[in-house]
Amino acid sequence: MNSPLSGLRLQLRLRIYKDDLLFGTGIAELMEKVDRDGSMSAACREMGMAYSKGWKIVRRAENQLGYPLMDGKRGGSGGGKMVLTSQGRELLDRYREMENEINRLAQEVFTRYFPDKK
């Protein structure tokens, strides 16, 4: 019979706060989709997120950072193509590398505390 702790998985969620929520898994995913498709509305749709919510998250981060994460014409008929700014891309890359490293360490610790998880 399996241990009740067999088959466990650890999921991590990171959030960076300044005065308010600044960056995290959600905005990172949003930016990656915008980077791929050039469209904020498509990115929000894919994440099941309201378009206005998507912009709120981006604006909140930008206001605290003091620089833009994305560039392009917002809305309008057909909308404009959105791209990440170089500062936005740098922050996104830095965040993802950090997240990967933390996740790797966390999985090691998890395996040590729950060795019967396999």
Asked whether the CA dihedral 92, 22, 104, 46 is positive or negative, the reply is negative
Q: Does 106 bind a second copy (CB under 8 A)?
A: yes
How far, in Å, CA of 7 to CA of 82, rounded?
41
Give the x-and-dash track for 36-75 against a second copy (CB under 8 A).
----------------------------xxxx--------
Q: Cβ atoms within 10 A of the Cβ of 33, count?
A: 19
Q: Which residues bind a second copy (CB under 8 A)?
A: 4-5, 7-19, 22, 64-67, 94-95, 97-98, 101-102, 105-106, 109-110, 112-114
